[in-house]
Chains A and B, each alone.
With several copies, the nearest count.
Chain A
């Protein structure tokens, strides 16, 4: 009986797949037609043969971006480890799965529509929205230093989109339905992130206004952090997080070694995130910029961890690892917007302040009775805003524009995502049942436990 059902489902799927395979060439041709239309104009200049120097500079810059993209993609492993480690073992499969699907859905949708919305081309300069067409060109454009092959550019950008999406999975951990998460993830990477991304990096209105965000303290991290806040608010805290008198209970993560490994991986991945955002290595000005960016990134991360450790030590009388790890990430987020505009010494200060902000942010969330299991909001939301402001304070960019951008982008992410989570909640309910939450989402949502054979005693 059961077997019959499965066989039936199998054949059905196969039939659908066959149909897809049959029609796909047509669809794909359509995609390419549109795409080629868009790319027509610039392709013309391709006629003249590039010089050896152009070819070499082109190779150097694209190779640089390629390896940077790989580093940024590696961050997905870092997020997965950080978030899995900071949550209960009974939700491990769920968290890992959300991280994997972020990337997979992100790649699919950002390829299909997101990239075209985020980089719509000069026609939409200074605007609020644009679209360059489906897919990503596979054609070679101009060959010269500083010019990027669209495929490499896409690879780099899609990793950023996946990063923004994956930040949220930690904030909503332990209680959000898996299917709701997949919908959220699709909307963020396919719509919300590309739109606000276009405002700055696609040449939109924030860019025209003079707002500066080098590698995405706001465009990427604050978007993720505030989307996570929205999710945490709509969901409410996990069972047992807050007592009736409002005091919080610790719900410690099940594997801090995973969390530490994840932070080291993220730190490493950030060497793609920030330096890669220079988008060029050739030319001594670029080379020099990348060098300063890399060192600033390192110093801010180090001081973020150090600052958080020290501040926590002063406040609570002990150095806490999970806080220092959050501090390192906050330092990295804080320097992201301005790593090319500040000195090593200023990076030092930006890092320490970011580390302190994260400790205060955790206190603030506890006060407000908001449950963000991994500290995604303090790390990416608050330190992201700090990054935007610091760009004005230290980095010779107009403070006014920085403040506008540092308010508008978080607000955009928060409001749209609040509406999304709220609407989904009204329609089908986004929170798992109390029983499922208690038993763990691994059993409830996936029927698969992460640690078969290990005896685990969970008391929360």
Chain B
């Protein structure tokens, strides 16, 4: 099993959700985050003081999947999030050793979907 984490532009969340649903990925966890990456921030002057805002608002999506679902999930995220502009975001894939459904105590493949 893998844990896929994607950092995307906030306004792309509906598109990514749709692409994931089309790919039959229905489970996910979404949080808001601030990100620094290749995308340049913007400069604010506030009451005479200047500051470079280089942490931009991002959405973080985490999806735990079985190994055979990794590629379709990654593809779906890219499909929904890609515009070709800087700031589109990143996907990280990590190993996931176990997954447990609290309600039933099921583990592994049975629990993830």
Q: Is any CB of A less than 8 Å from a CB of B in the complex?
A: yes
A240 within 8 A of B: yes
Question: Which one, B11, B14, B32, B42, contacts A447 given CB within 8 A?
Answer: B42
Question: Which one, B9, B10, B46, B57, contacts A448 given CB within 8 A?
Answer: B46
Output the least CB separation between A460 and chain B (Å). 7
How many A-B contacts if CB must be within 8 Å? Answer: 64
Contact A252 B59 (CB under 8 A): no
Interface-facing stretch out of B47-55, B70-78, B95-103, B105-113:
B47-55
**A362: B residues at CB distance < 8 A:** 47-48
Assembled-state Cα–Cα distance A455/B13 (Å): 15
Instruction: Give the interface residue-count category, chain B.
Output: 20 to 34
Instruction: Give the interface residue-count category, chain A.
Output: 20 to 34
**B48: A residues at CB distance < 8 A:** 248, 316, 359, 362-363, 366
B67 within 8 A of A: no
Contact A247 B49 (CB under 8 A): yes
Contact A447 B10 (CB under 8 A): no
Output the least CB separation between A83 and chain B (Å). 15
Contact B10 A459 (CB under 8 A): yes
Residues of B contacting A: mostly: strand
Contact A459 B51 (CB under 8 A): no
A100 within 8 A of B: no
Say yes or no: A455-B46 contact (C-beta < 8 A), given A240-B14, A460-B14: no
Question: Which one, A438, A447, A457, contacts B45 given CB within 8 A?
Answer: A447
Assembled-state Cα–Cα distance A250/B46 (Å): 6
Assembled-state Cα–Cα distance A193/B15 (Å): 44
Q: Which residue of A lies closest to B12 (CB)?
A: A459
Q: Which residue of B lies closest to A443 (CB)?
A: B42
Cβ contacts B34-72/A at 8 Å (1 or 0 each): 100000001111111111000001010000000000000
Output the least CB separation between A38 and chain B (Å). 44
Assembled-state Cα–Cα distance A68/B22 (Å): 59
Q: Which residue of B lies closest to A449 (CB)?
A: B44
Assembled-state Cα–Cα distance A302/B26 (Å): 45
Cβ contacts A307-344/B at 8 Å (1 or 0 each): 00000000010101011000000000000000000000
Question: Which one, A239, A249, A375, contacts B51 given CB within 8 A?
Answer: A249
Cβ contacts A165-196/B at 8 Å (1 or 0 each): 00000000000000000000000000000000
Question: Which one, B11, B43, B50, contacts A459 given CB within 8 A?
Answer: B11
A245 within 8 A of B: no
Contact A459 B49 (CB under 8 A): no
Q: Which of A322, A323, A457 has the most CB of B within 10 A?
A: A457
Interface residues of A in 416-447 (CB under 8 A from B): 438, 443, 447
Output the least CB separation between B100 and chain A (Å). 22
Output the least CB separation between B22 and chain A (Å). 15
Say yes or no: A249-B49 contact (C-beta < 8 A), given A456-B32, A457-B34, A459-B11: yes
Q: Which residue of A lies closest to B53 (CB)?
A: A443
**B10: A residues at CB distance < 8 A:** 457-459
**B50: A residues at CB distance < 8 A:** 2, 247, 250
**Which residues from chain A sit less than 8 Å from chain B, CB to CB?**
2, 239-240, 247-250, 252, 316, 318, 320, 322-323, 359, 362-363, 366, 375, 438, 443, 447-448, 455-460
A-B complex: 3 closest residue pairs judged by Cβ atoms: A250-B46, A457-B32, A248-B49
8 contacts between A and B (CB under 8 A): A240-B11, A322-B47, A323-B47, A362-B48, A366-B49, A438-B11, A447-B44, A457-B32
- List 15 additional A-B contacts (Cβ < 8 Å) besides A240-B14, A322-B46, A438-B9: A239-B11, A240-B11, A249-B49, A249-B51, A250-B50, A250-B51, A322-B47, A323-B47, A438-B11, A443-B42, A447-B45, A448-B44, A457-B30, A459-B13, A459-B59
